[in-house]
Structure 1
Amino acid sequence: MKLCRFELKSEPGTIRSGMVYDGKIYETDGAEAIGVHEAADVRPLAPVPTPPSIRVFRTDLSETGFVYANPAAVVGPSMVIELPDSGSDYVARSYFGAVIGGTGYQLGEEEAEAVLLGFTLVNILSSKSIEEEDGKSLGRAQDFGIMVGPVITTPDDLDDAMVPTDNGIMYKLSASIRINGDEKGFTNFEDFSLSTVEAVRFASETCTVRSGDLFCIGPIFSDESCAVSKGDEFQFSMERLGMLSTKLG
């Protein structure tokens, strides 16, 4: 199942929710379908508008851990993001996103798996010059653009892509990033060292995880392959999860 939030182009400002199936958007009231829309008639919104928390797990670092990101910086697909003049050397880091659908504290592996609502794509814009200036505090460096979407894909939709590992369930899903139409990176999420279940279990050791929390695991690509500047348009795609497109102003 692919869950979404959207507005009709003919009725902007009215936020609706539903699911995507066979190329159409089925609007629901939470239980029943109340309308069917063509994809061309809707504008997708971030499927998680303002998460209670965003935890960013950096698998390119030597130790398991995470930093918090700003929920107020979340925007949906196909948005234009203005880069701040105070930074430089921008990168668009792509992450595998996991959305929590329950509540739990000090969870075991099976309990951590049970609270997962589904998966989505996340792009976090960051300024490497601000990172260097602020050191380990990444707050300002990634405070101006967190793109989430286009949908939340529930775990049952990926049953045939599951790969059991010592670190929990991984997913055999290919991923790519394009900047201005040129492919800059291609990989498979199966090869990553941290599973979503392990990330949720780890975070719950010291804090209750709550419905709507967003976990980001990555970055999927190297900083060299995802360097961006004003005027660029980049697309992060992952098999079965869709494509997340953003333009930089």
Structure 2
Amino acid sequence: MKLVSYRERERDAWRAGLLREGKVKDIAHAYPGAPSTVLGLLEEWANWLPALQTAYEVQDGWDLEHVELGSPLPRPASFRDFYAFEAHVKTARAKRGLPIVPEWYHFPVFYFSNAAAFTGTQANIRRPKATEWLDYELEIACVIGKAGVNIPVERAEEHIAGYCILNDWSARDIQREEVKVGLGPAKGKDFATSMGPWLVTPEELADVRITGEKGSRYDLEMVARINGREYSKGNFKDIHYTFAEMIARASEDCSLYPGDVIGSGTVGTGCILELGTEQYAWLVPGDVVELEVERLGVLRNTICE
């Protein structure tokens, strides 16, 4: 099942829809009493999931090309971004002449970012005035659909409503200066995060699931293209920490709620910082950035001033 936040006109409020066969079905219209937003659905996820999984008449929906898609959660309840791909951590730290710190292998680490700055596919991303080193980051996000605290790893996947592509845009020159202070990233990250194009529920990925003692990985190829040129290529199965481990860590002595977003961190080679600017220039206005993940779709954005 694929959930979207959509609207017909720019000034309209975002509404929850089901995407099937290229058509978007308005959930509140199709299911009397259903919430009109994706966040509202997630807050009652156990009640509405069985109904949403039943068949409906596709021909009654909007054609996908006739609506605008936002982030599946236009304003998440919160946003934690982890640092879970070892290849990315090694390369990014090596660029600064640093090894991976031993603590990285002890527990999954995350930072909080700006949940009020989410955009969806096809949105323009404004380059911050103070940056010349604008970068993309190829990631996957999971969205929480069930509240919990001190969630054990073996039960953590019960709290996942679905998965999306995530682009954690980064102003690398600003970020470089901030981390010298020992805090951050802050202004280097808070201007935009793109997520979408839709929320894919876990049963859609069952045949590519790789189960393990500490949660699932998925055999999903991940690709980034800039202006049609392939920059990055990786696979979600190579992640060091699973989303189950991330959820367990995030929920230690802290409640998670429906609508919380958890990012995986960047896949290996999944940003210009790793690739090097000798052959891969920083992003500039006019660049079209496409992140594609098998089964999850294509997240496409254009850089502007």
Same fold (TM over 0.5): yes
TM-score in terms of structure 1 length: 0.94
Q: How far has the Cα of 1:31 moved from its partner?
A: 6.2
Q: Write the deviation string for residues 2-61 of structure 1: whole angstroms up to 9, x where unpaired.
A: 01110125x851432111112221221186269411111111111011112100101234
Query: 2: distance between equivalents of 1:113 and 1:72?
Result: 26
Distance 1:211 1:159 in 2: 22
Residue of structure 2 in register with 1:125 after alignment: 169
Letter in 1 for 2:2: K
Which of the two has higher C-alpha Rg? 2
Match of 1:230 among 281, 285, 296: 285
Whether the aligned pair in 2 keeps the contact of 1:237 and 1:244 (CA below 8 Å) is yes
Point out the more displaced range, 157-166 or 56-65: 56-65
Who is 2:243 aligned against?
196
2:191 corresponding residue in structure 1: 144
**Structure 1 residues 167, 99: CA separation in 2 closer, same or farther (over 3 Å shift)?**
same
So what's the TM-score if we normalise by structure 2? 0.77
Q: After superposition, what is the alpha-carbon deviation per residue over 1:45-92, rounded to whole angstroms, capped at 9, x for unaligned?
A: 110111121001012344120000001111111111111121221111
**Aligned partners of 1:191 and 1:212: how far apart in 2?**
26
Structure richer in strand, relative to its length:
1
Residue 15 (1) aligns with residue 70 (2): no
Alignment of 1:71-220 (within 5 A): 71-135=115-179, 136-220=183-267
1:140 alignment partner, SS class: coil
Matched to 1:44, the amino acid is L
- Determine helix, strand or coil for the equivalent of 1:193: coil
Gaps of 5+ in 2: 32-55, 90-99
How many residues of Structure 1 are paired with residues of Structure 2 in the alignment? Answer: 248
Structure-1 separation of matches of 2:109 and 2:265: 12
Counterpart CA distance in 1 for 2:113 and 2:29 is: 29
Higher helix share: 2
Change (3 A) 1:30 1:120: farther
Large movers: runs of 4+ above 4 Å: none
Q: For residue 42 of structure 1, what is the aligned residue in structure 2?
A: 67
